[in-house]
Structure 1
Amino acid sequence: MTKSNPILEALKDRRSIRKFTAAEVTREDLTAILESGRWAPSGLNNQPWKFLVIRSEDPRVEELANCTKYGHIVRGAKVLICLFLEKDKIYSMMKDHQAAGGCIQNMMLAAHSLGLGTVWLGEIINQEKQVLDVLKLAEDKYELQAVIAAGHPAQKGSSKRKELSELMLEEY
């Protein structure tokens, strides 16, 4: 008999959402999401990340939309959470990039638990210099990791996964 587990259920139920309603994301929900990112694991507990929140009415939204082929998602989100690594806090490139991924995942799962939808915009890092210019952030100080678009879902997400057996290198 399998006992219900809300964390395992959230991991399976969370989907990328690319369309959002006009409903605002409350400050309380946004704080809960950011706090969840703050509590992600990091090597040596260095917590090398910095967050920048941009709401839909911010004039920089249009400029950010022009930094990615997914500009329609940027324009449609009620909130954008930009995640950066602080370059002088990085002690191990690989570990700190992995930590940033954990931070992003924590925030996306937190949003899901609050009934919000998110999508991890990674393609935008290909235009990192342009993004840093738009946000007036120093290129020698910050490294863009991702932008999370968030809001109340206006669509259902869907996904398929390979069978576990296809992912295993050996039988366990």
Structure 2
Amino acid sequence: MQHNPVLEAIRQRRSIRRFTPEPVSLAEIEAILDAGRWAPSGLNNQPWRFLVVRPGEPRQDALARHTKYAHLVRGAQALFCVFLDREVVYNRAKDLQSIGACLQNMLLAVHALGLGGVWLGEIINQEPEVTRALGFDERSLELMAVLAVGRPDQKGSSERKPLAELLLEPLSLADE
């Protein structure tokens, strides 16, 4: 297959859990948010809502208190809290899938910008307490994940199962 930057980014992106103290710029933050907003959503309802928390803000401590990954929250140079807007939900399963696509777009943007990031999903075990600690009404917003982002201070690594192990049926050449 010929060189494709999107496919390469998908294969090269890794979860980064250690960051340098160098800040993430406003332009980089906006680029990451913009990538998230361009994710597909059913009926184009765009059910995601974003909160960006920067180092030193009181909400950084609030997030750290609600996760076993407090060291990641405290080390990040930008935290992207992604919420589901309960008031625009039309089909929960589809909207959750859309949020997943939004998060993946954001992580690919992080990678494309030369930054590092990690998807913190464990923090939703404390949802709705986290939403309230951030100052929002859990009846309107539901925290889906937090992305911890910064300049990488480590190399990421990952393994994947062979495709054959994941297929329910083998691929057929007759399909071409």
Query: So what's the TM-score if we normalise by structure 2?
Result: 0.96
CA offsets 1:54-82 (integer angstroms, 9 cap, x no match): 00121221121010011110010000000
Query: Match for residue 118 of structure 1?
Result: 117
Query: Match for residue 127 of structure 1?
Result: 126
SS in structure 2 of the partner of residue 145 of structure 1? strand
- 1:36-115 alignment to 2 at 5 Å? 36-115=35-114
SS in structure 2 of the partner of residue 11 of structure 1? helix
Matched, 1:12 2:11: yes
Whole-Å separation in 1 of the counterparts to 2:6 and 2:138: 37
**Runs of at least 5 residues in structure 1 that lack an aligned partner in the other structure:** none
Find runs of 4+ consecutive structure 1 residues off by over 6 angstroms: none
Whole-Å separation in 2 of the counterparts to 1:57 and 1:115: 23
Query: Match for residue 145 of structure 2?
Result: 146
**Aligned AA for 1:73?**
L
**Aligned AA for 2:76?**
A
Whole-Å separation in 2 of the counterparts to 1:75 and 1:130: 19
1:135 CA displacement: 0.8
Identity %: 57
Query: So what's the TM-score if we normalise by structure 1?
Result: 0.98
**Runs of at least 5 residues in structure 2 that lack an aligned partner in the other structure:** 172-176
SS in structure 2 of the partner of residue 161 of structure 1? coil
SS in structure 2 of the partner of residue 111 of structure 1? helix
